[in-house]
Structure 1
Amino acid sequence: LTQLRTGHIGLNAYLARFGAVNSALCQTCQEPETVNHFLLSCRRYRTQRDTLRRALFADGRQPLTKKTLLGKVKNRSCLLEYVRTTGRLPQYDDAQV
């Protein structure tokens, strides 16, 4: 979770800074693949994000924010499940809250 907060995580925007990937852009959206993009707007993970929203909010309609996802202890297990189900960061598949 600390890496999601700081942005120092295996997403293209961070990895491109060190030449580990050729582009900082998301392969789906062609926007910088930042933590905000991964958590809040990437089209590739829309289904997983909708599941996350329903798990966090009874009506499933409230907007997700980085602060809501990373700032509330009770949301951490749902956030980790989102990360797991996207498959984008497999190094966190066994992460525990």
Structure 2
Amino acid sequence: MPRGSCSIITQLRTGHVALNAYLARFGAVNSPMCHKCGEPETVRHYLLTCRRYSSERDLLRRKLYSSGRQPLDMKTLLGRAKNKKHLLQFVAATDRFPRYTTTSTPQD
């Protein structure tokens, strides 16, 4: 797996990722809130509830369902190695972390 892919997955798992809730702790942004929803922009918010990424999330939900009827939750996305490809495709589609988006995603 490319280094950028490993990095973004690790950051999402630990919560140490460039989302407003984390960045606000260090004064890098003025507010921990999501600009679209007005809720704290956490990993959970980004992956599961943010309205900005609803179409990308719907596609992710369909991919998870087609590969074993898996629920869309934190454990499924961050805890199952077989879903890393789908997670990385979601991250790339949202363009929220362009620094870590690679031109190819893992096939495993």
TM-score (norm 2): 0.82
1:84 paired to 2:92: yes
Looking at structure 2, the residues matched to 63 and 25 of structure 1 have their Cα atoms a distance apart, in angstroms, of 26
- Residue identity over aligned pairs, in percent, reads 60
Q: Give the secondary-structure state (helix, strand or coil) at the position aligned to 2:84.
A: helix
What stretches of structure 1 of length at least 5 have no aligned partner? none
Looking at structure 2, the residues matched to 62 and 93 of structure 1 have their Cα atoms a distance apart, in angstroms, of 24
What stretches of structure 2 of length at least 5 have no aligned partner? 1-8
1:34 paired to 2:42: yes
Residue aligning to 1:20:
28
Aligned-residue offset at 1:91: 1.6
Looking at structure 1, the residues matched to 48 and 13 of structure 2 have their Cα atoms a distance apart, in angstroms, of 14
Residue aligning to 2:5:
none
RMSD: 1.8
- Bigger RCO (CA 8 Å, 6+ sep): 2
Looking at structure 2, the residues matched to 43 and 74 of structure 1 have their Cα atoms a distance apart, in angstroms, of 26
